[in-house]
Amino acid sequence: MVTNNLLSRLHRYASRQDENFVTEAFAYLLRHLLENEPNVAVRILSRLTGGILNASADQASSITVTTQVATEQGRPDLEISTLDSLIYVEAKVDSELGDRQLERYREELQKQAGFAYRGLVLLSRYPVSVPHSVAGLVVSRRWYQVADWLLDELQGGSLGSDVSRFLVVQFTDFLTQRGVTMEAVGWQLVEGMKAFRGLLGLVQEALAALKITFQKTNGWESINFYLDAKNFWVGMSYDRPGILIFSTLLSPVGSDGVEKAGFGRVEPEGNSPTGIKWVNELVLYSEDVHFFARSRASQLQCIEQFLKDSLAAAQRARPVSDQP
C-alpha cells in the first residue's frame, strides 16, 4: 500500500462531498486512460458497462466521460458517450438510491434519440437491490471490481507510461484506504497483528509512565486513545499502521498554531472550539527514527518523547487568550 497517497490527503478537505470526490477521481483516471492508454481504457469501459460500450482503441478519442450532467430527471454521476452509445453511471459509496432514481434515469435514456446503444450502470460499494421495474435493464458493478480490473492491467504490463501507472496505483490505493475495496489477506497477517498489539502496548505503557489519563477505543478505521478528557487524541489508522498520530481535539488551536508549536500542521476539526486541530506524526519506518531497529526499551523512550514533545507543542499552539 502507498503511504503517501495524494487523493487520500485531498479527500480530507472534501469529506462532505465524498461520493462526488470518488467519482471525479475515477472520471479523471478514465479520461487519462482514453487519451494515453486507449487499449486499456476501452477494456475497462467494456467491463464497466457489461459490453454495451464495445469500442476499439482507435475509437477511444470519440469517447467522452462527463460528470454531473444535468437532465430533466436528475444528475447521473457519470455520462459516457460515443457517436452511437450513451451510458449513465450512478455511483454510490455509502449512500442509498434516491426516490425512483434508476427508473428516472432509465426514462431519460429512452428519450435520448440518435443512439443505437443505451445503458444504465449502478456502481456501488455494497450490493444494491435493483427495483423490479428496471431489473435486467441495469448493469450492476462494484467498486472492488473496478480496482481489480485496473490492477490486472497494471500487473499485466499493459500501461505504457510511468504517469499512467502512478495514477492507477494512486486511485486503487485510495479506494483501499477509503475502505471502498479491500486488499487480499496475506501470510503477513499473523505476525503483523502480533506486532501491532505490541505497538499499542508500548503506547499505553508510555501514557501510563507520563501519568496521562486516557480512554482507549477500537474504531472501524483506527485505534483511538483519548487523552485528558478528550482534549487530545493519539492513535493509528488501520490503513497507515506505520504512523503514530497525535492531534488536539477539544483543546483550542490558534490560527498561528503551527508557528507557535514550531512543527506539525493544522487541519479542520469540527470538535475544536476554533474549528481546527494541530497534528503531529511519528513515522515509524522513517530512517530518522529507526524505530523497528531499536530495542523495546528504546522504542518506549521514543514514543514517550514523541508524546512529551507533542503535548508541549499543543499547549504552545493554543490561542493567546487560552494560554495558561
- Tens of each residue's pLDDT in the chain, 324 residues: 555 677 877 777 665 566 788 999 999 999 999 999 999 999 999 999 999 999 999 999 999 999 988 888 889 999 999 999 999 999 998 788 888 999 999 999 999 888 999 999 999 988 888 888 888 889 999 999 999 999 999 999 999 999 999 999 999 988 887 767 755 666 766 777 888 889 999 999 999 999 999 999 988 888 999 999 999 999 998 878 889 999 999 999 999 999 999 999 999 999 899 999 999 999 998 888 999 999 999 999 999 999 999 999 999 999 976 655
Enter the C-alpha cell of residue 44.
Answer: 475497462
The domain 189-322: what is its CATH number? Answer: 3.90.1150.20
Q: Which architecture, in CATH terms, is 6-178?
A: 3-Layer(aba) Sandwich (3.40)
- How many degrees, rounded to 5, is the angle at CA 35 between CA 30 and CA 37? 75
Name the residue ranges covered by the structural domains of the chain.
6-178, 189-322
Q: Do domains 6-178 and 189-322 have the same CATH topology?
A: no
| Under 8 Å between Cβ of 225 and 216 | yes
Three-state DSSP at 322 gives helix
What is the number of other CB atoms lying within 10 angstroms of the CB of residue 115? Answer: 15
| Strand arrangement of the beta sheet that strand 214-218 belongs to | 214-218, 222-227, 232-237, 243-248, 276-283, 265-268
